[in-house]
Amino acid sequence: MTEETWTIEELVALTENVQNGKVEYRGKSFAFQFCELSEKEEPKLKALSDNATEDERNEWYAQIGTDRILSMIEKANVKNPEGINLNKENWGDLPVTLRFAITSEILQLREDVAGNFTSG
């Protein structure tokens, strides 16, 4: 069996190509689009204080995650306006569990997260 290897061109193309995702939610599927970000496109937040409480740290990390996902969705929306069904304006109105499923799908954490919650 030969191992497939990414080329630099393929990896760079990921930041330019609109990708489609789909999650199952309460017996129905929900489709969305997103684009990978290059480092210069990553959202910027002001630095977290060294004296921040654990709650403040958790909120800061959650905000980074949300900003990153929304940037990926908005980038795709600019590149493919016909495919828009999810945006900054309606993101906050979605059920939190659906937003978590979308985030997990985009970041491909589904298997890792499921593995952390199985008994064994």
User: Per the structure block, which two tokens stand in for 7?
Assistant: 């080329």
What pLDDT, on the 0 to 100 scale, is given for residue 45? 80
Instruction: Note the pTM of the prediction, 2 decimals.
Output: 0.80
What pLDDT, on the 0 to 100 scale, is given for residue 113? 43
Long-range Cβ contacts of 37-46 (<8 Å, 24+ apart): 37/68, 37/71, 37/72, 37/75, 41/15, 41/71, 41/75, 42/68, 42/71, 43/67, 43/68, 43/70, 43/71
The pLDDT profile of the chain, 120 residues, written as one tens digit per residue, is 678 899 999 999 989 999 999 999 999 999 999 999 999 999 988 888 888 899 988 888 888 889 999 999 999 999 999 999 999 999 999 999 999 999 999 988 545 444 554 544
